[in-house]
Amino acid sequence: MPTTEQKLAAVHGYVDAFARGDTEAIVALFDANATVEDPIGTPIKRGHDEIRAFYQGSTATGAKLELLGEPRCAADYVAFPFAVRLEWQGQKSVIEVIDTFRLNDEGKIVEMRAYWGPENMKAG
């Protein structure tokens, strides 16, 4: 089971790498066979190649992440609320999101799920 320190390191590493637009640092947080479902209900991205392509598109928007509270750890999961700040369709926008990561014993993310929908997008 991953430690609390590993789970928190994954969250902070993710936010920091996103802020730098460092796709490779983001991908390095994930296990080679990991999945990303962002947002829930969209096609699942599997493995480093699909995850890399997804984050190349996401970071290309210039989006920045801001934690909105403390991460919550339970078993091999960590959940964390955050805001995505970006320019969307010509206007500054904010998307409020809750992500969950499931980590393996090595502290790598094996599953990422993002909970948000259109009602969570606001002018910002």
Catalytic machinery residues: 14, 38
Residue with tokens 């369709």: 89
Q: How many helices (H) and strands (E) does the chain have?
A: 3, 8
90: exposed, middle or buried (Cβ count in 10 Å: 0-12, 13-18, 19+):
exposed
Alpha-carbon distance of 76 to 52, in angstroms, equals 23
